[in-house]
Chain A
Amino acid sequence: MTDQNEPQHPGGQPTDPDADKNDADKHHAGKHHLPTPAEEETAAVVSLDTAGGAMEPSAVPATAQSGKIPGPPETLVRRIFTGSGMVSVLAVLLALILGGLLIALTDKQVGTTATYLLARPTDFLSAVWSAATRSYVALFQGSVFNPRGAGIAGQIAPLMETLTIATPLITAGLGVALAFRAGLFNIGAQGQIIMAGILAAWAGFALHLPLGLHLLLVLVAGIIGGAFWGGLVGYLKARTGAHEVILTIMFNYIALYLLRYLLNTPAFQRPGETNPISPVLDASAAYPQIFGSQYRLHLGFLLAIAATVFVWWLLNRSTVGFEFRAVGANPKAAQTAGINVSRSTILVMAMAGALAGLSGVAQVAGTEKVLTDGVAATYGFDAITVALLGRSTPWGTFAAGLLFGAFRAGAVQMQIQTGTPIDIVLVVQSLIVLFIAAPPLVRAVFGLNPRRKKRPTAGKTKTAATTGGAA
């Protein structure tokens, strides 16, 4: 039915070529009902509210609006994922400021100067300033550009490292985001990465095939592993109605312990060793390095870009993607409209799993070249954050993945140059998530809450919204 529908929805419909722009509009329009503290109880009511009539009715397409009509599963999803771009930027800013203070607090020099704060306060303040700035400078030098590097190649090495670390975050994040858009909380990226890693690694070290064919097989094995693990969740949900959150969480455990078991079997160990670490993958099974062997950046990053384009195309241009979004907006309405909700659930979870599977392949064929029980690190869970930060849009997720990759890469330099514990970097990241997940908090801090005073605020909010758009 959707095939017929597509041409029938010009202008604001999701299938329209300007859909991305519409997305942005949607978020701006979404602003007046999202941020208020009281939204827990009133989200649904407020959703159709136009701030006391002071705002023009939103230009959000009907399908998107239908998502805000009371309905248990999807209102929460939408509430979380449709914060505005400005809030993301402000959240990062706020987290950096708080993080800077934390860095300063844990700094030795600051501690020393604090003991004679009254005698010479300037020492204390300059110590705070230098601790925070030194750390952030190190973060920048470790993730983007290192002016002390040898030649231009050495100077951009940190950037290459950022892209490398961002690769699995982006693809797993896309998997999570895609499922979010279909109204599914996919907490299972971790397990999907692991399953993909197991299959891909096995194909990489146990089989010995010619160049090209081998990598292709590794890639396919990984994608199938992830898609199977995700699709199974979709199938169980569609058939039995079991909740996907429980399913994915438990599937993570199953995958992890299966991996640990396998690593204790000789088939997955190196000959003559009993450590739980697999043999190194054949050279023919590894992703080629894009810019030569001096950087770790591998083909997986290009695939991550391709995956982003694919997800963008899928969501905004394809019939299947339209169905996903319709199901995500309101599964009952989608069903009534003739969409096969079960099929969409299975398909979207399989696709999400396949995307996470790309991360697994990036790990075993790209950076690590071996399989250990740390193959997924925490990428599966970080992916949830990345998808949230990217507001579940493909390019948003891509950008969020890059940001997180930069944090991770820069963390090394932060540790080495300034002695900032790596945990502080993770605290900063967690603060960002906190602020993203609670937009009212950020708005409150920056005085942007629209509903403080009924009448005049409406105008104010509009200004805020505009600046937000500009930022």
Chain B
Amino acid sequence: MKNSLRANVKRGSLAGVASVGAAALLLTGCGPAPQAGTPTATASDYSGCIVSDSGGFDDQSFNQSSYEGLKKAEKDLGIKVNQVESKSNNDFEPNLRAMVSAGCDLTVTVGFLLGDATKKHAEANPDSHFAIIDFGFAKPIANVKPIIYDTAQAAFMAGYLAAASTKTGTVATFGGIKIPTVTIFMDGYADGVKYYNEKKGKDVKLLGWDKAKQDGSFTGDFEKQDKGKQLTQNFLDQGADVVMPVAGPVGKGAGAALKDAKAAGKDVKLIWVDSDGFLTAPDYKDIMLSSVMKQMGTAVETVVKEDKEGKFTNEPYIGTLANEGVQLAPFHDLDSAVPAEVKTELDQIKKDIVDGKLKVESAASPKA
């Protein structure tokens, strides 16, 4: 008895859901039918492909930026795009094989984890071209173009900016996982702070990274935002007022902690990484001092364009301040908070780095 009642209720609710769904379909389904034989836009025969690592194309980090670069190339250059996401490291090989056999002219692989698989397939398919993001081979491979970044250059500017902006005399940074593509930000940031101290005879302290020891604070992954929040809270308690999280989406945790502090009356600032945080993390607009940008999308599009025009080389693409592969983002809303003097100094630093007068070095810097 009890059961039959329950069954009826269940059936009733299912029917309800179904009818709502049907109604929704009917409401949206009133448009006119298209004429038969509408031609689709003709694309070029060139196909650019991309294989993600297990982060997927929605990782708000290098997979996503690279993918967006390829999508932009699809629109601008009229190429065909093929993409495949890896769910585990086991997927790399079959995914790459599938891309090669799908006739991809250029396959972009994302991250050092794909290094071995890329090498293997590149050597087995000498006629196909590959590009790998954020990884350079010790021995260059004829048909693989590494796309790497000397991020320390832009991070150096961010460190200088942070040191010039702090009111408490303490700035902080932390990373997601201790890998070279993360620590290179922290190295540059540390050097920027140090450079400021040397130039101005100040003693701005840096929390979260010790360049000499190559050790510091990490959240352990690129996912758990609460850990970023916790860590940032600790930094705030220790007196830091400018924080640069190098942890992809975990940076949002830092943003949340800083927003809380700002609501409590503290003057705190956030420095974003990878993309211009003012645009990609607009929740934190009002505390976003600047961002250390890695222009991965542009690099991918450039490499695709070159390859399409038959100008492929295996020479690494190294993003620098000079070629604008890495950049310090505009200050946007906080523009007035940065004194004109500091802006001039930053321009000078940029010029000096581009000219080679100022050397920014990191253990993780790409070796050209």
By a beta-carbon cutoff of 8 Å, the part of chain A in contact with chain B is 36-38, 114-120, 123-124, 161, 165, 257, 260, 264, 272-277, 280, 296, 363, 367-370, 372, 374-375, 377-378, 408-409, 411-413, 415-416, 421-422, 426, 444, 449, 451-453
Bound-state Cα–Cα, A449 to B10, Å:
14
Contact status B177-A374, CB under 8 Å: no
In chain B, residues 149-199, which have Cβ atoms closer than 8 Å to a Cβ of chain A?
177-180, 183
Contact status B94-A161, CB under 8 Å: yes
Contact status A264-B178, CB under 8 Å: yes
Contact status A444-B116, CB under 8 Å: no
Bound-state Cα–Cα, A370 to B114, Å:
11
Q: Which residues of B contact A452 (CB under 8 A)?
A: 3-4, 7
Bound-state Cα–Cα, A321 to B314, Å:
59
Q: How far is the CB of B182 from chain A (nearest CB, A)?
A: 11
Q: Is B93 an interface residue (CB 8 A)?
A: yes
Q: How far is the CB of B237 from chain A (nearest CB, A)?
A: 25
Q: Give the total number of A-B pairs whose CB atoms are below 8 A apart.
A: 112
Residue total for B at the interface (Cβ-Cβ under 8 A): 45
Contact status B2-A260, CB under 8 Å: no
Contact status A374-B179, CB under 8 Å: no
Bound-state Cα–Cα, A257 to B227, Å:
15
Contact status A274-B364, CB under 8 Å: yes
Q: Which residues of A contact B363 (CB under 8 A)?
A: 274
Q: Which residues of A contact B177 (CB under 8 A)?
A: 260, 276
Closest residue of chain B to A149, judged by CB? B101
Could you mark each residue 17-47 of chain B with 1 if its beta carbon is under 8 Å from any beta carbon of chain A, else 0? 0000000011011111110000000000000
Contact status B82-A416, CB under 8 Å: yes
Q: Apart from A165-B90, A274-B180, A275-B179, what 9 extra A-B contacts exist at CB < 8 Å?
A: A116-B29, A117-B26, A275-B135, A276-B178, A296-B94, A374-B89, A412-B94, A422-B85, A453-B4
Bound-state Cα–Cα, A37 to B93, Å:
45
Q: Which residues of B contact A296 (CB under 8 A)?
A: 93-94
By a beta-carbon cutoff of 8 Å, the part of chain B in contact with chain A is 2-4, 6-7, 10, 25-26, 28-34, 54, 82-85, 87-91, 93-95, 98-99, 102, 112-113, 115-116, 135, 138, 177-180, 183, 220, 363-364
Bound-state Cα–Cα, A459 to B353, Å:
86
Among A117, A118, A374, contact of B113 (Cβ-Cβ < 8 Å)? A374
Bound-state Cα–Cα, A367 to B91, Å:
10
Contact status A374-B54, CB under 8 Å: yes
Closest residue of chain A to B57, judged by CB? A421
8 cross-chain pairs, A with B, having the tightest CB-CB distances, nearest first = A117-B29, A377-B88, A119-B33, A120-B33, A115-B31, A116-B33, A116-B31, A374-B89
Bound-state Cα–Cα, A177 to B141, Å:
46
Q: Which residues of A contact B84 (CB under 8 A)?
A: 412, 415-416, 422
Bound-state Cα–Cα, A62 to B304, Å:
70
Bound-state Cα–Cα, A374 to B6, Å:
45
Given known A-B contacts A115-B29, A257-B220, A422 and B87 have beta carbons under 8 A apart: yes
A-B contact pairs, 18 of them (CB 8 A): A38-B3, A116-B32, A118-B26, A124-B29, A273-B138, A369-B116, A370-B116, A374-B113, A377-B54, A377-B89, A408-B87, A412-B91, A416-B82, A416-B102, A422-B87, A426-B87, A444-B10, A449-B7
Q: Which residues of A contact B25 (CB under 8 A)?
A: 114, 117
Q: Which residues of A contact B112 (CB under 8 A)?
A: 275, 277
Bound-state Cα–Cα, A421 to B83, Å:
10
Contact status A38-B2, CB under 8 Å: yes
Q: Which residues of B contact A415 (CB under 8 A)?
A: 83-85
Contact status A114-B28, CB under 8 Å: yes
Q: How far is the CB of A164 from chain B (nearest CB, A)?
A: 8
Closest residue of chain A to B88, judged by CB? A377
Q: Which residues of B contact A119 (CB under 8 A)?
A: 30-33
Given known A-B contacts A37-B3, A374-B113, A444-B10, A260 and B220 have beta carbons under 8 A apart: yes
Bound-state Cα–Cα, A37 to B10, Å:
12
Closest residue of chain A to B180, judged by CB? A274
Q: How far is the CB of B250 from chain A (nearest CB, A)?
A: 15
Q: How far is the CB of B300 from chain A (nearest CB, A)?
A: 19
Contact status A272-B7, CB under 8 Å: no
Bound-state Cα–Cα, A101 to B66, Å:
31
Contact status A377-B29, CB under 8 Å: no
Q: Which residues of A contact B7 (CB under 8 A)?
A: 444, 449, 452
Q: How far is the CB of B57 from chain A (nearest CB, A)?
A: 9
Bound-state Cα–Cα, A165 to B94, Å:
11
Q: A115, A161, A296: which has the most chain B beta carbons within 10 Å?
A: A115
Q: How far is the CB of A392 from chain B (nearest CB, A)?
A: 25
Q: Which residues of B contact A453 (CB under 8 A)?
A: 4
Closest residue of chain B to A419, judged by CB? B83
Among A37, A123, A409, contact of B33 (Cβ-Cβ < 8 Å)? A123
Bound-state Cα–Cα, A257 to B219, Å:
12
Q: How far is the CB of A354 from chain B (nearest CB, A)?
A: 22
Q: Which residues of B contact A369 (CB under 8 A)?
A: 116
Q: Which residues of B contact A165 (CB under 8 A)?
A: 90
Bound-state Cα–Cα, A40 to B367, Å:
64
Q: Which residues of B contact A421 (CB under 8 A)?
A: 85
Given known A-B contacts A116-B33, A451-B3, A276 and B179 have beta carbons under 8 A apart: yes
Closest residue of chain A to B363, judged by CB? A274
Contact status A409-B94, CB under 8 Å: yes
Q: Which residues of A contact B88 (CB under 8 A)?
A: 374, 377-378
Q: How far is the CB of A5 from chain B (nearest CB, A)?
A: 41
Contact status B4-A275, CB under 8 Å: no
Q: Which residues of A contact B3 (CB under 8 A)?
A: 36-38, 449, 451-452
Among B26, B29, B113, contact of A277 (Cβ-Cβ < 8 Å)? B113
Bound-state Cα–Cα, A273 to B180, Å:
9
Bound-state Cα–Cα, A415 to B116, Å:
23
Bound-state Cα–Cα, A118 to B30, Å:
6
Among A36, A280, A375, A412, contact of B89 (Cβ-Cβ < 8 Å)? A375
Q: Which residues of B contact A117 (CB under 8 A)?
A: 25-26, 28-30
Q: A114, A408, A416: which has the most chain B beta carbons within 10 Å?
A: A416
Contact status B6-A114, CB under 8 Å: no
Contact status A412-B98, CB under 8 Å: yes
Contact status A367-B90, CB under 8 Å: yes
Bound-state Cα–Cα, A408 to B89, Å:
12
Closest residue of chain A to B6, judged by CB? A37
Closest residue of chain A to B4, judged by CB? A452
Closest residue of chain B to A376, judged by CB? B88
Bound-state Cα–Cα, A374 to B116, Å:
14
Q: Which residues of A contact B99 (CB under 8 A)?
A: 416
Q: How far is the CB of B97 from chain A (nearest CB, A)?
A: 9
Bound-state Cα–Cα, A165 to B179, Å:
28
Bound-state Cα–Cα, A276 to B91, Å:
19
Q: Which residues of A contact B364 (CB under 8 A)?
A: 274
Q: Which residues of A contact B82 (CB under 8 A)?
A: 416
Bound-state Cα–Cα, A38 to B26, Å:
38
Contact status B90-A377, CB under 8 Å: yes
Bound-state Cα–Cα, A412 to B52, Å:
12
Q: How far is the CB of B288 from chain A (nearest CB, A)?
A: 30
Closest residue of chain B to A382, judged by CB? B88
Q: Which residues of A contact B93 (CB under 8 A)?
A: 296, 367
Given known A-B contacts A37-B3, A116-B32, A416-B84, A272 and B94 have beta carbons under 8 A apart: no
Q: How far is the CB of B119 from chain A (nearest CB, A)?
A: 10
Among A363, A416, A451, contact of B90 (Cβ-Cβ < 8 Å)? A363
Q: Which residues of B contact A409 (CB under 8 A)?
A: 94
Closest residue of chain B to A120, judged by CB? B33
